[in-house]
């Protein structure tokens, strides 16, 4: 076995090991930081141990009284409006973006490595070098 074959096999082994480790570590990271598993266990513990606490304020009685204020009108001709408030709930960060990005990058790295290996870069470089040398001799 010559050094060229050994170097090609070493490069193939390196790319294969790199891609497998990237995929494996991405999956392990996702399992460790999975928000659905961690939050459900934490919320179950917190709900059992909740303590009710009411804070008494100086203006508590004043704030709880109903005020006699006329309803606001949207237009001058309106005699009354129903006020509706809509809000959006904050979407919690699930952490799947980093895992997805890691899987995509490792897939791209793996496919790039396969493409480079299939083109045999040493053979391409050697043929390009030979062409340049032959052109220089003419």
pLDDT (0 to 100) of residue 35:
66
92 to 35, 36, 39: CA distances (angstroms): 9, 11, 11
Q: Average pLDDT for consecutive 10-residue bins of the chain (138 residues)?
A: 75 86 86 64 54 70 76 61 67 78 89 87 88 86
Rounded CA gap, 122 and 7, in Å?
A: 10
pTM: 0.33
pLDDT (0 to 100) of residue 14:
87
Rounded CA gap, 77 and 31, in Å?
A: 60
Q: What are phi and psi of 68, to 5 degrees?
A: -90, 90
């Amino acid at each position: 076995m010559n050094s060229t074959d050994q170097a090609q096999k070493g490069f193939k082994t390196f790319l294969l090991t790199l891609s497998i480790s990237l995929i494996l570590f991405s999956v392990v990271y996702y399992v460790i930081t999975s928000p659905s598993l961690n939050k459900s266990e934490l919320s179950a513990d917190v709900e059992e141990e909740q303590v009710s606490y009411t804070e008494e304020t100086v203006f508590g009685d004043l704030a709880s009284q109903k005020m006699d204020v006329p309803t606001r009108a949207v237009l001058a001709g309106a005699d009354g409006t129903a006020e509706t408030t809509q809000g959006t709930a904050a979407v919690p960060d699930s952490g799947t973006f980093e895992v997805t990005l890691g899987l995509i990058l490792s897939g791209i790295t793996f496919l790039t490595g396969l493409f480079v290996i299939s083109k045999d870069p040493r053979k391409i470089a050697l043929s390009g070098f030979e062409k340049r040398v032959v052109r220089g001799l003419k």
